[in-house]
């Protein structure tokens, strides 16, 4: 068990600290708010001799992720970090990184996409990248950002997975918030994360061609295998979460559930809002109102079966989206869950809440109003409006 070392770290610093302990070999990154402090800290670690890694200060995010792909294929342990426009600029290569089965860990300090330009939190950046083939995880607080980054290497580099992993932490809300973080000892981390063992490293005796052209006679099979790899990652993610729990006393599951044993109204969300949702739910619970909260740590692969298990008996399900899917029938998380529900046969009343774009706060009073609306729907047995915009002047 870990020595109880607690450090005061911001989300960005906690990520950088985890990367140092993970003994990465190559870091390639480009500055962008609110992620920048991660790479500043990492370059300090490298320049002060605390981390023996190549820090490659590239000239764009496109080159950052390209450099990471090249480095990953050599068998190195690789990390990058970005936000918003930077992630959008990487987009083309995100697909290729996953398709080449290149383990890379990326921290994303989530930030709104332009225009208007805005540096504050929402999930439009990662939601725009949700179908790139990356494993996608969300931290609720700084502790989780630290813990998930360490687990991410173990997952990405597993021979059963070989996929890149994105760990999301809400821009500013987590990236710049100071928290007391329980950190592992360096040697515990080295035991949990020994040196990467690449499965097909660059070999000069038996040279491999990486990234060939595949025409209609083979392309489809390769993509099918990639889809299988994503599904196959689920048991590995669960196993790593349990193993990490034994090490740290903080076990990770794809979904964090609060009050779901008897919840009539349940709310599901990603990122730092989950904490606010839980705090307000505790107050409701004290008044005997049956509210439950589901925080998704894992978004890709989507924890379908686990989610369904929690939803039996739920009358109203409220899905919170911090991003828009323009012109569709709801936000990205809503669309995801609506599909899962349809297949499961469960038919709760579903409300979709769009909130918090461009860093607009989700206040406890907003959450109370959302819950009240949920209970009203439960009473009436129907929803008057299925899509709610919360916290916006209309």
Piece of the chain touching another protein by CB under 8 A; list 185-193, 199-207, 320-328, 345-353: 199-207
Given the complex with another protein, which of 46 and 340 has the nearer CB atom?
A: 46
User: Quick check: 218 binds another protein (CB under 8 A)?
Assistant: yes
User: Quick check: 268 binds another protein (CB under 8 A)?
Assistant: no
Rounded Cα–Cα distance for residues 223 and 110 (Å): 28
| Count of other CB atoms within 10 angstroms of residue 208 | 10
| Count of other CB atoms within 10 angstroms of residue 394 | 3
Shortest Å distance, C-beta 29 to another protein:
12
User: Quick check: 202 binds another protein (CB under 8 A)?
Assistant: yes
Q: Could you tell me if 98 and 164 are in contact, meaning their C-beta atoms sit under 8 angstroms apart? A: yes
350: Cβ contacts below 8 Å, ≥ 6 apart: 316, 317, 318, 319, 334, 337, 338, 341, 383, 386
User: Quick check: 220 binds another protein (CB under 8 A)?
Assistant: no
Candidate residues 9, 15, 73, 142; the one interacting with another protein per rule CB under 8 A? 73
Candidate residues 62, 239, 304, 315; the one interacting with another protein per rule CB under 8 A? 62
Given the complex with another protein, which of 210 and 342 has the nearer CB atom?
A: 210
Rounded Cα–Cα distance for residues 200 and 184 (Å): 31
Piece of the chain touching another protein by CB under 8 A; list 11-19, 215-223, 309-317, 319-327: 215-223
Sign of CA dihedral 366, 371, 376, 378: positive
Distance of CA 314 to the CA centre of its chain: 26
Q: How far apart are the first and last CA of the chain?
A: 52
User: Quick check: 63 binds another protein (CB under 8 A)?
Assistant: yes
Binding pattern for the stretch 86-125 against another protein, x by CB under 8 A and - elsewhere: ------xx--x---x-------------------------
**Which candidate, 165, 66, 84, 178, places its Cα nearest to that of 122?**
84
Size of the site for another protein (CB under 8 A): 45
List interacting residues with another protein (CB under 8 A): 25-26, 28, 52-54, 56-60, 62-64, 66-76, 78, 92-93, 96, 100, 195, 202-204, 207-215, 218, 222
């Amino acid at each position: 068990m870990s020595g109880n070392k607690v450090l005061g770290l911001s989300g960005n610093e906690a990520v950088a600290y985890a990367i140092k302990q993970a003994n990465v070999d190559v870091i390639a990154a480009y500055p962008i708010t609110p992620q920048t402090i991660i790479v500043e800290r990492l370059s300090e670690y490298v320049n002060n001799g605390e981390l023996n890694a190549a820090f490659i200060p590239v000239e764009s995010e496109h080159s950052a992720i390209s450099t990471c792909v090249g480095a990953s294929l050599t068998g190195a342990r690789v990390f990058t970090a970005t936000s918003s426009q930077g992630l959008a600029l990487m987009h083309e290569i995100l697909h290729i990184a996953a398709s080449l089965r290149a383990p890379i860990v990326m921290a994303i300090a989530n930030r709104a996409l332009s225009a208007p330009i805005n540096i504050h939190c929402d999930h439009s950046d990662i939601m725009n990248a949700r179908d790139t083939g990356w494993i996608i995880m969300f931290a609720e607080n700084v502790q989780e950002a630290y813990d998930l980054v360490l687990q991410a290497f173990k997952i990405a580099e597993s021979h059963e997975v070989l996929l890149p992993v994105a760990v999301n932490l809400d821009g500013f809300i987590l990236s710049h918030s100071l928290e007391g973080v329980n950190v592992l000892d360096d040697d515990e981390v080295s035991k949990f994360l020994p040196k990467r063992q690449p499965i097909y490293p660059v070999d000069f005796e038996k040279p491999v061609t990486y990234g060939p052209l595949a025409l209609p006679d083979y392309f489809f099979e390769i993509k099918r295998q990639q889809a299988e790899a994503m599904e196959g990652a689920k048991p590995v993610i669960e196993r790593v979460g349990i193993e990490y729990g034994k090490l740290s006393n903080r076990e990770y599951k794809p979904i964090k559930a609060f009050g779901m044993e008897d919840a009539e109204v349940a709310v599901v969300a990603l990122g730092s809002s989950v904490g606010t949702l839980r705090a307000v739910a505790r107050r409701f619970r004290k008044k005997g109102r049956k509210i439950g909260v589901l925080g998704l740590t894992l978004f890709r692969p989507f924890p379908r079966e686990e989610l369904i298990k929690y939803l039996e008996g739920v009358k109203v399900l409220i899905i919170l989206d911090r991003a828009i899917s323009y012109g569709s029938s709801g936000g990205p998380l809503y669309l995801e869950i609506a599909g899962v529900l349809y297949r499961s046969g469960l038919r709760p009343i579903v409300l979709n809440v769009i909130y918090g774009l461009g860093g607009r706060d989700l206040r406890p009073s907003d959450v109370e109003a959302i819950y009240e609306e949920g209970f009203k729907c439960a009473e009436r047995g129907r929803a008057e409006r299925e899509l709610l915009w919360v916290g916006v002047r209309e």
